[in-house]
Amino acid sequence: MDEREFFENYYAPKVEKKPVWSSWVIHLSLFLLTFVTTLIAGMEWVTGKMGPYEFNSLSQGLPYALGILFVLSCHEFGHYFAARYHKVDATLPYYIPFPPIPYFINFGTMGAVIKTKGQIKNNKTMFDIGVAGPIAGFVASLIVLIYGFTHLPGVEYILKIHPDFFSPDYGKDALNLRFGDTLLFSFLREIFTKPGQFVPPMSEVYHYPYLCVGWFGLFVTAMNMLPVGQLDGGHVVYSMFGEKIHEHFAGIFMLILAFLGFEGIFEGLVGIDWGLGWSGWLFWGLILYFVIKIKHPPVAHFEQLGKGRMALGYLSIFILIISFSPAPLVLTM
C-alpha cells in the first residue's frame, strides 16, 4: 500500500452515501401523495363540491389527477433526460403535493422539481436542460387540450353540476371564478369545436378535467418560461443572448409582473373586472426577486448557440407568448 492509498483509507473523511432505495422511497412517496391530493382536487373541480369525501366519488377526480401528473412528469423528465444526455447528475422528480384547503384555489399540487447535482459548465448544456422541460410539458398540455376539446360532453353535463346554469339569476350574489383565456386556448377552442356545440365559458372550464389540466399546463409553462433568474426561461434567454441581454429581459418582465400585480389589486379594490391583471403576479414577482433572484449565475464557458438551438429558443419564447394570460385567475361577485 503506497502513501496515497494509506491516506485515503485511514485519514480521508468518510462520506456516508444514502442507500439508493431510500431515495426511491422519497420520490415514490411524494408521487403517491401528489396523486391523492390531485385526485381530491380533481373531484372538487369537477363536482364543485368540497368534503367530506366519499371513496366512490373520488373516482370522478381520476381524469384530472392522471392528466396533471402526465403534464408535470413530461415537463420534469424533459429536464431529467436532457441532463442525463449531457452526463449531468440529476435527481428524479420531486412531486409537491398540496392538500385541500376549504375555499382556497387548489390544483392539488405545487408542481414538481428535479435537482441537478453537478456543475453545468457551458451554456449549450444549460440551454438543452432548460428548454427541454417547457417544450415537453407544452406538448403534453397541447395533447390534453386537443383531447378535451374534441371530447366535450353535451350540455347535460354542466346541468348536472349547475341545474340553474341557464337561469338569468345564475351566479348572482355568489363568488365566481374565471380562468383567464390565452391565445393558444382560444385558438384550439375555435378549431376543435363545432358551430352550435355547447362550449363552456372560461368561468366553467374547471368543471371539465381535460380542459382544466391543459389550461393549468399552459399556466405553469408560462410561469416557468419567464426570462428571469434561474427559471427555465431565464436559462434559455441567458444561453441564447448572454448576461447583459438576459438582465434587460429580466428587468422588463419584472416590471410587467409588478404592473399586472398592482393592476389586479386595483381592480379588486374598486370592484371592476377589466381582466388586465392578477394580484398573484405580484406575489410571484416577490418570490423571483427574493428567492430565485433576477440575475442568472454565469457559466464557465459561453459560446454562440447554433441555428438549431436558436430556433428552439425562439420557439420557447413563442410558447410563452401564446400560453401567457395577464389575468389567469379572476374572482368576482
| Per-residue pLDDT tens digits for 87-98 | 999 999 999 999
pLDDT digits (tens, 9 = 90+) for 308-328: 999 999 999 999 999 999 999
Assigned domain for 279 exists: yes
Please report which residue ranges of 15-122 form alpha helices under DSSP H. Answer: 20-47, 62-85
- Contact, 305 vs 123, CB < 8 A? yes
Contacts of 114 (CB under 8 A, 6+ apart): 76, 79, 80, 83, 90, 91, 92, 93, 94
Q: Compute the average pLDDT of residues 92-116.
A: 90
Assigned domain for 225 exists: yes
Assigned domain for 267 exists: yes
Domain that holds residue 162: 23-332
Rounded to an integer, what distance in angstroms lies between the CA atom of residue 189 and that of residue 193?
6
Rounded to an integer, what distance in angstroms lies between the CA atom of residue 216 and that of residue 211?
8
Q: Compute the average pLDDT of residues 266-284.
A: 90
Number of domains composing the chain: 1
Q: Compute the average pLDDT of residues 267-282.
A: 90
Widest distance between CA atoms in the chain: 89
Q: Compute the average pLDDT of residues 165-185.
A: 89
Assigned domain for 6 exists: no
pTM: 0.90
Rounded to an integer, what distance in angstroms lies between the CA atom of residue 102 and that of residue 297?
40
pLDDT tier for residue 237 given thresholds of 50, 70 and 90? very high
pLDDT tier for residue 181 given thresholds of 50, 70 and 90? very high
The predicted structure's pLDDT at residue 6:
35
The predicted structure's pLDDT at residue 14:
43
The predicted structure's pLDDT at residue 19:
52
Q: What are phi and psi of 153, to 5 degrees?
A: -70, 165
Assigned domain for 16 exists: no
Assigned domain for 1 exists: no
Assigned domain for 12 exists: no
Rounded to an integer, what distance in angstroms lies between the CA atom of residue 313 and that of residue 240?
7
Assigned domain for 5 exists: no
